[in-house]
Structure 1
Amino acid sequence: MSDQGDPLARIADALERLAGALPAMPDWTAAPAYVWDRSGARAVANLAAPSLDLLQGIDAQKALVTANVARLAAGHAAHDMLLWGARGMGKSALLRASVIAAQDRDPAALALVQVAPDASAALPGLFAALGGEQRRFLVFIDDLGFAEGDSEGSRALRSWLEGGVDARPGNVRLAVTANRRAIVSRHAGEQAISSREEGPINPRDAVDDKLALADRFGLSIGFHVCSQDDYLAIVGGYCASHGLSWDQGEALEWAKRRGARSGRVAWQFVTELAGRAGQSL
């Protein structure tokens, strides 16, 4: 305990209270995955994902992601990845499944670290912790988006990807999922080049500054709404894996009522079938 009669000790105690406790850090070699939030990091004992062969309709995307994750796990040159496009088409599931496949070959080589939505600003602290480890890490930001007018967030991410003094270390790569390739929203008015200056910065320049973020990723992989055949193949694969019988017409009606065909909608239909059959998944 500090000597409360000592002015320097009182000042030190006050500074410690203002700074708060240091973020908690786990054993970075002990788990297949971790979650990073504002309180620090915690280990996840079991990393869950569909097997790679059940992720159908995205064969080209699957080949790119699994190869890149395998390179990272092996300690070879690997890219940061932006997975963008249609909702429910397996972007985050593919990342998790690719990490599991790499861990099947060598559990100690690679871990997934998912960043909570409220913890992106604390990424430099995470990078500092991971940079001292021998293990490789895929840092995963799911469903990334920036609020209207938020230019600092996109600039920070660009700095972390390359060029900044707090850029991610060599044993870390970033994987981001987003609904848009540019990550940020675009409005119709942003598409037109203004014929006059509006303030000190041309509006088109501001838009281009945001769009430049996507260029920092070595792999930018698009996911698109699946066809009817792909949707039925996904349903069929899941049902075969879990021993469920199904009807093609009912599967199509399920998608029609939800206004979409995707891997997520297919899984929801399979969940319905399993529930009716009294089966767990």
Structure 2
Amino acid sequence: MIDWNINYAAIWRQRQSYLRPVRQIDPVKLGQLIGIERQKQLLIANTERFLTGLPANNALLWGARGTGKSSLVKALLNAYKDRGLRLIEVDKQDLLFLPEIVDDIREHDQRFIIYCDDLSFEAGDSMYKPLKSVLEGSIELPPDNVLFYATSNRRHLLPEQMRDNLETQLIDGEVHYSDTIEEKVSLSDRFGLRLAFYPQPTPTYLDIVDSYFVDYSGDREALHKAALDFAHLNAAKNGRTARQFYNAYSEKSS
């Protein structure tokens, strides 16, 4: 059994069917996340409602890769762990074990976010169906000390194809979506808070780079050029690329 008074996070391990305490938590802070202020404030507000016992929503953070979705969830833990927030990470293939996980924590005093990173489902994948009942309950209501936060590159978590729209009809002036679209949208609808993360513009990318190179005393213009060259090589200008640039360039700049 985990002592949640001294452990702040855990990861579900399917093979042994247990929660493994996390000993080294990613130290990312909310103040380090640049270019996502609106998303940050909305998720903070939702989490603070949760911590104070007010109604709060399950959250889906979706959008462009490397834009800070998972970092934002981890930063929340660092910001609020002293107020009783706890984080449990579960892989997509382990979502079937959510009822067991929830049963283990529903009687604790702490407030738990169950977190699934990079959540998405392929055509024919039925794993999302038990997730629906976990989000809104079955005959037993979800406990008020548990929320589900997920990140995804897909807005509706399921693949969307053009043929799905061909069955949509206009009846008496109202749009009636196809059963396929209704099924796909109904999953994301169970997340009361849906936050979109878009590709970051060049100035924001360079601001993130500068946040890593606070003590850099060399030619800042040359640093920015190197950072942009690195981004072009990796075909992405985002927070993840900025961190990777720092990892590759920081010793050269010291």
Cα distance in 2 for residues equivalent to 1:181 and 1:147: 13
* Structural mapping, 1:195-206, within 5 Å: 204-206=178-180
**1:14-51 superposed Cα distances (whole Å, 9 cap, x missing partner):** xxxxxxxxxxx422332111111212101112321422
Larger radius of gyration: 1
**TM-score for both structures, normalised by structure 1:** 0.80
Q: Quick one: percent identity of the two aligned structures?
A: 34
Instruction: Count residues in correspondence.
Output: 243
Of 198, 205, 216, which residue of structure 2 is paired with 1:231?
205
Q: Which residue of 1 aligns with 2:174?
A: none
* Structural mapping, 1:158-177, within 5 Å: 158-165=132-139, 168-177=142-151
Give, as a single letter, the amino acid of the residue that structure 2 aligns with 1:116: D
* Structural mapping, 1:11-160, within 5 Å: 25-38=1-14, 39-104=17-82, 106=83, 109-150=84-125, 152-160=126-134
Summarize the Cα distance change of 1:179–1:167 in structure 2 as closer, same or farther, 3 Å threshold: farther
Summarize the Cα distance change of 1:194–1:223 in structure 2 as closer, same or farther, 3 Å threshold: closer
Of 232, 244, 247, which residue of structure 2 is paired with 1:256?
232
Shift of 1:251: 0.9
Cα distance in 2 for residues equivalent to 1:194 and 1:248: 48
Contact 2:216 2:253 (8 Å CA) reproduced:
no
Cα distance in 2 for residues equivalent to 1:167 and 1:181: 26
Shift of 1:89: 0.4
SS in 1 for 2:60: strand
Shift of 1:258: 1.0
1:208 aligns with 2:182: yes
Shift of 1:167: 5.3
Structure 2, unpaired ranges of 5+: 170-176
Shift of 1:205: 0.3
SS in 2 for 1:118: helix
**1:155-210 superposed Cα distances (whole Å, 9 cap, x missing partner):** 21111111423553110000010101101111222222279xxxxxxx93023112
**TM-score for both structures, normalised by structure 2:** 0.88
Structure 1, unpaired ranges of 5+: 1-24, 196-202
Runs of 4+ off more than 6 Å? none
* Structural mapping, 1:261-280, within 5 Å: 261-276=237-252
